[in-house]
Copies of this chain bind each other. A is one copy, B any other.
Amino acid sequence: MLDTRETIMTLARAIVQAHGYQGLSFRDLAKAVGIKSASIHYHFPTKADLGAALARRYGEDARATLDGFLAETSDPATLLRRYVAVFRRALENDNRMCMCGFMAAEHDDLPEAVKSEVRAFADINVAWLAQVLRLADPAADPTATEKRAFAIFAAIGGAQLAARSRGDIALFDSIVESYCATGLIPA
């Protein structure tokens, strides 16, 4: 393998998106990578280290993706459509979900280092959404915009969770449609 550490992170992310942090085992991960579990510990001393690295990278990747969208267009409707599509893609990928969404549920059992990265991920999403909402309505109250951004973030996460529990991507689409129709997500 060219870069084992990267391979570990990629495969671990996929596992956590499907089974959660609790459902991530060094043995299974090692088997997927093609090495022994002891070798995972060489790259990430503890599971908490791996979890924190995973969540941090997840946030970095999200920021890069979202900023990429902003570099291509300033149309709020297009940007929000693309944002929703990111969450849809997780479901398309074997009914997976947002890694930090899963970790949010597991909050009570997460090492502190992982918890703070999960919070940071939410912050990145909310900040970006608020930025897009300001493009749509620059005159709006900044505090209300931030609240609205958090509401959209939470609602899409909820739609993903509901669709996942049924293994039904069409349900995700239907729920998001309702969000747009009722005005939660501006069109």
Residues of A whose CB lies within 8 Å of any CB of B are: 18-20, 22-23, 95, 97, 100-109, 115, 118-119, 122, 147-148, 150-151, 153-159, 161-167, 171, 174-175, 177-179, 181-184
Contact = CB atoms under 8 A, between A and B. Distances in A.
A128 to B, nearest CB: 15
Given A23-B22, A105-B105, A183-B184, A175 B154 contact: yes
A107 B164 contact: yes
Nearest to A157: B158
Contacts of A164: 104-105, 107
A180 to B, nearest CB: 10
Contacts of A177: 147
Contact of A182 (B109, B115, B184): B184
Contacts of A175: 147, 150-151, 154-155
Contact of A108 (B19, B158, B179): B19
A150 B179 contact: no
A51 to B, nearest CB: 14
A8 B137 CA distance: 53
Nearest to A150: B175
A22 B16 CA distance: 13
Contact of A148 (B20, B122, B161, B178): B178
A29 B167 CA distance: 30
